Every structure is written in C-alpha cells, then in structure tokens.
C-alpha cells in the first residue's frame, strides 16, 4: 500500500514569492494534516482537512492556506514568502481513530523549502 507522497521534495524560492506544496494521502484516508518543522520552533501544526473542509487550524498567519480535493489530495500554499518560512513541511494522513481510540497519523517524507 503506497504511503503518503509529497511533492516537490526540495525547492528554493526568494522572498516575496509564493509556493504550493502537494500531498497525496494513503488510499482511503480522508484526513490530511500539515505540519511545519524548523530547528527553532520544532514541529508545529498548520491545519487539518477532512472531506474538503478545514476542520482544525494552528496558529499561523493568513499567508498559509490549504485546500483538499474530492480525491483527498491536499495542497498548501504560502504567499509572500519570508526568510522564516524556510522549513520542512510535513503532510500526514489519517484513516480516523483506531479501535483503541488513537488517531494515528502517517507522515510523508516532507517538502524542504528554502527561502533566499
């Protein structure tokens, strides 16, 4: 069974540009979450989508947005890039709570964004 696929894996942008990252979840998973990982702030939650609706949102400025399509694939967009947006952006999918009640996330390999 294919895992979570993120594209592109690496990209370089300059300040002021915008970027779109893509995530294909595990087949059958309807929930997609996005996290930002930086050396200074660690892993921070961006947002979660379920059935094309944003269900939860972290504490990030409006420059960070996302969407989910009917096939559960998701994209996130960052506009007006700043140097501090350089990070590894991780996507995770979930098939819902397991029988034990845990919501297990499966992560992709990430998209590493460098802003110059």
Partner 1 sequence: GDSVTQMEGPVTLSEEAFLTINCTYTATGYPSLFWYVQYPGEGLQLLLKATKADDKGSNKGFEATYRKETTSFHLEKGSVQVSDSAVYFCALSDRTGRRALTFGSGTRLQVQP
List residues near partner 1 by CB under 8 A: 4, 6, 31, 33, 35, 42-43, 45, 48, 55-56, 58, 90, 92, 94, 100-110
| Residue 50 CB, nearest approach to partner 1 (Å) | 9
Q: Kindly tell me which of 9 and 63 has the beta carbon lying closer to partner 1.
A: 9
Q: Kindly tell me which of 94 and 115 has the beta carbon lying closer to partner 1.
A: 94
Strand-by-strand arrangement of the 5-7 sheet: 5-7, 19-24, 74-78, 64-68
| Residue 74 CB, nearest approach to partner 1 (Å) | 15
Rounded CA-CA distance 13/82 in Å is 10
110 Ramachandran zone, left/alpha/beta (phi>0; psi -120 to 50): left
């Amino acid at each position: 069974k294919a895992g979570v696929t993120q594209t592109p894996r690496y990209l370089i942008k300059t300040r002021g540009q915008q970027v779109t990252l893509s995530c294909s979840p595990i087949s059958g998973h309807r929930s997609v979450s996005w996290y930002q990982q930086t050396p200074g702030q660690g892993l921070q939650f961006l947002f979660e989508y379920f059935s094309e609706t944003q269900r939860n949102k972290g504490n990030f400025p409006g420059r960070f947005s996302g969407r989910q399509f009917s096939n559960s694939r998701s994209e996130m967009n960052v506009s007006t890039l700043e140097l501090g947006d350089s990070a590894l952006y991780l996507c995770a999918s979930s098939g819902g709570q397991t029988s034990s009640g845990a919501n297990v996330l499966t992560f992709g390999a990430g998209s590493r964004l460098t802003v110059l």
